[in-house]
């Protein structure tokens, strides 16, 4: 097997591009980008691959990027210079094998401001594995990234797959969209599959939408996820599956779903059990301060495992579930804009630490920024806000939560002249 040490002479430069194959470690610089992976790329044992911001990695069909024992990848882009992992557009077949991270329990692979897309490994004409990123007995941090348009048929999670042995995943501020797992029922996870994760796994401030699969959990599938994985301030929207279009929870899994929106998900036409949002099987988990639509959003199938059992039946009335069934009022969800409108019931309706603006936590992935005295939400405190304030009080206008918080400038839970004085002072001092 050829081995390439990037820091020395590992590359074959073709004008403005570089070919990679075999064992590769060291540093991939922006200067030599884009890179073309022309055969399986392996990060050697006890080694690492560092990728500079702005690089593009094109990979040929059937090949993947893989770490060997105790190896890891660090790919840290920036908001203006992301790192892109995608298929080789010059090849007749769309797809590649994705990124496989395994057997490195003491190391963490990091992906920040990355796009991982179009993985779809083809063997014998069939899709095989091909998760955008797959972890096995290692630690993975994904932040401010996009995982999109990946496809698998290996029960592995279309966009992200976490498998036993135990793996720790920290997924923050990222978008998981338009991924697919075509493996047959019962499960798989169109967007994400979490199987037996390590303690400390977190999915937070993520948008999971437009993913699908034949089995269960179009957006995300939790299976044997016993370590209270935190699923917080996420949006799960317009995903589809056979069971649990939004989320499937299998076999003694106990995720904590908090301050999240599960909305507009679907099951296949003609399915006798229309549990579009969440499907639960042999598990007992917690929902805190979330928004979920559909009257019959949950299904429980009595099945004892590890000494626990779940109740048979369906519905949303269960002691461990605290949520609202009300339109979250996104700006334009159909076109991928999951910001909240000012009148959204999700504003200030969450539980836990305050939002960055000092207001109570919102439900959803993108908080709505509030400013004391800014009654019309234009980002400034002006005379227009005073006029609106007086008008609302005189007409006894029914206020949105966002308006009430912004108008109560002295935080005494009353709206009166004292608040107006503070608004005037803000304008005069401004």
Q: What is the pLDDT along the chain (430 residues), one digit of tens a residue?
A: 444 444 333 444 445 789 999 999 999 999 999 999 999 999 999 999 999 999 999 999 889 999 999 999 999 999 999 999 999 998 887 789 899 998 898 999 999 999 999 998 655 444 445 589 999 889 999 999 999 999 887 667 889 988 766 688 999 999 999 998 876 555 578 899 888 777 788 999 999 999 988 777 889 988 877 777 899 999 999 998 877 788 888 877 888 889 999 998 887 766 655 567 887 776 667 777 888 775 445 544 443 333 344 444 444 445 456 777 889 999 999 999 999 999 999 999 999 999 999 999 999 999 999 999 999 999 999 999 999 999 988 887 889 999 999 999 999 999 888 999 999 998 988 7
Strand partners, 291: 261, 324
Q: DSSP label at 309? A: -
pLDDT score for 60: 93
Strand runs (DSSP E) across 11-125, as ranges? 12-14, 17-28, 35-43, 48-51, 56-59, 65-67, 72-76, 83-87, 99-112, 114-117, 122-123
List helix spans (H) across 239-335. Answer: none
Alpha-carbon distances, residue 187 vs 90, 133, 158, 270, 429 (angstroms) = 34, 18, 12, 19, 59
Summary count for the chain: helices (H), strands (E): 3, 39
CA 397-388-354 angle, 5° bins: 80
Q: Under a CB-based contact definition with an 8 Å cutoff, are residues 244 and 278 in contact?
A: yes
Cα dihedral value 161, 212, 308, 204, nearest 10: 60
Rg of the Cα atoms in the chain: 24
> What does the block give as tokens for 187?
């499960």
> What does the block give as tokens for 407?
């108008």
pLDDT score for 304: 39
Listed in sequence order, the residues at least 6 apart from 240 whose beta carbon sits closer than 8 Å to its beta carbon are 190, 211, 212, 218, 265, 266, 267, 268
Helix axes 417-429, 383-394, angle to 10 degrees: 170
What is the pTM for the complete model shown? 0.89
Fold of the 3-337 domain: Pectate Lyase C-like (2.160.20)
Rounded Cα distance between 61 and 96, Å, is 4
- 3-state DSSP assignment of residue 162: strand
Fold of the 370-430 domain: Type 1 dockerin domain (1.10.1330)
pLDDT score for 358: 95
Domain boundaries, the chain: 3-337, 370-430
Rounded Cα distance between 86 and 45, Å, is 24
Task: From 69, 74, 134, select the one nearest 105 (Cα to Cα).
Answer: 69
């Amino acid at each position: 097997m050829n081995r390439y040490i990037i820091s020395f002479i590992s590359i074959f430069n073709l004008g403005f591009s570089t070919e990679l194959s075999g064992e590769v470690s060291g540093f991939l610089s922006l200067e030599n980008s884009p890179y073309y992976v022309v055969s399986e790329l392996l990060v050697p044992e006890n080694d690492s691959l560092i990728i500079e911001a702005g690089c593009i990695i094109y990979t040929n069909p059937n090949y993947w990027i893989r770490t060997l024992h105790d190896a890891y990848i660090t790919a840290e882009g920036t908001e203006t210079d992301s790192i892109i992992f995608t298929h080789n557009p010059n090849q007749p077949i769309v797809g590649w094998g994705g990124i496989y991270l395994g057997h490195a329990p003491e190391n963490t692979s990091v992906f920040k401001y990355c796009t991982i897309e179009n993985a779809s490994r083809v063997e014998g004409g069939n899709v095989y594995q091909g998760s955008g990123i797959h972890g096995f007995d290692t630690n993975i941090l994904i932040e401010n990234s996009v995982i999109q348009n990946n496809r698998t048929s290996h029960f592995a999670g279309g966009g992200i797959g976490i498998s036993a042995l135990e793996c720790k995943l920290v997924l923050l501020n990222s978008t998981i969209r338009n991924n697919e797992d075509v493996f047959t029922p019962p499960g798989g996870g169109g967007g994400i599959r979490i199987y037996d994760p390590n303690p400390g796994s977190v999915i937070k401030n993520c948008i999971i939408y437009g993913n699908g699969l034949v089995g269960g959990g179009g957006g995300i599938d939790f299976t044997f996820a016993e370590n209270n994985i935190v699923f917080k301030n996420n949006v799960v929207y317009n995903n589809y599956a056979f069971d649990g279009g939004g989320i499937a929870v299998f076999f003694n899994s106990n995720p904590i779903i908090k301050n999240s929106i599960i909305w507009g998900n679907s099951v296949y036409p003609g399915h006798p059990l229309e549990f579009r949002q969440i499907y639960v099987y042999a598990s007992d988990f917690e929902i805190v301060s979330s928004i979920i639509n559909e009257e019959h959003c949950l299904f429980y199938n009595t099945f004892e495992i590890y000494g626990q059992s779940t109740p048979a039946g369906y519905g949303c009335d269960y002691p461990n579930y605290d949520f609202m069934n009300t339109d979250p009022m996104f700006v334009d969800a159909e076109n991928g804009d999951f910001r909240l409108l000012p009148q959204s019931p999700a504003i200030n309706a969450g539980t836990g630490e305050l939002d960055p603006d000092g207001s109570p936590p919102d439900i959803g992935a993108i908080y709505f920024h509030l400013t004391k005295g800014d009654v019309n939400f234009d980002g400034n405190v002006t005379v227009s806000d005073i006029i609106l304030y007086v008008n609302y009080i005189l007409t006894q206008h029914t206020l949105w939560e966002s308006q009430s918080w912004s108008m109560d400038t002295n935080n005494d839970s009353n709206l009166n002249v004292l608040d107006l004085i503070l608004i005037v002072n803000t304008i005069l001092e401004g």
